[in-house]
């Protein structure tokens, strides 16, 4: 739709007739509403996907002192945190 709009504006540069200006106005209104419609439909699709994502709960019951694994369904391991216990501070 935008390609037609660009071509009509270029055509107006070569032919300065009033009917070309009318075509530009019609194509401009059509391109605007096409862009608005595309915005709404793509936003609707993205919102539907965002609300259907399942909760990603960790598969391990609790976090112990040394290792934590979290996995997403069908994705395998996505987070691995290996924590070394801190050594106590030495006194001087």
Other CB atoms within 10 A of residue 8 CB: 19
Q: What is the pLDDT of residue 78?
A: 54
Phi and psi angles of residue 59, each rounded to the nearest 5 degrees, phi first: -85, -15
Other CB atoms within 10 A of residue 4 CB: 13
pTM of the model: 0.48
Q: Is 71 exposed, middle or buried (0-12, 13-18, 19+ CB in 10 A)?
A: middle
| pLDDT per residue as tens digits for the range 23-79 | 889 999 999 999 999 999 999 988 887 777 666 555 555 555 555 555 556 666 555
Q: What is the pLDDT of residue 37?
A: 95
Strands (E), the chain: 67-72, 76-82
């Amino acid at each position: 739709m935008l390609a037609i709009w660009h071509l009509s504006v270029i055509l107006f540069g070569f032919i300065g007739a009033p009917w070309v200006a009318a075509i530009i106005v019609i194509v401009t209104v059509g391109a605007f509403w096409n862009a608005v419609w595309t915005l709404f439909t793509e936003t609707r699709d993205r919102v539907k996907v965002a609300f259907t994502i399942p909760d990603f709960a960790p598969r391990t019951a609790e976090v112990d002192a040394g290792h934590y694994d979290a996995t997403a369904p069908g994705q395998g391991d996505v987070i691995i945190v290996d924590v070394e216990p801190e050594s106590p501070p030495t006194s001087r």
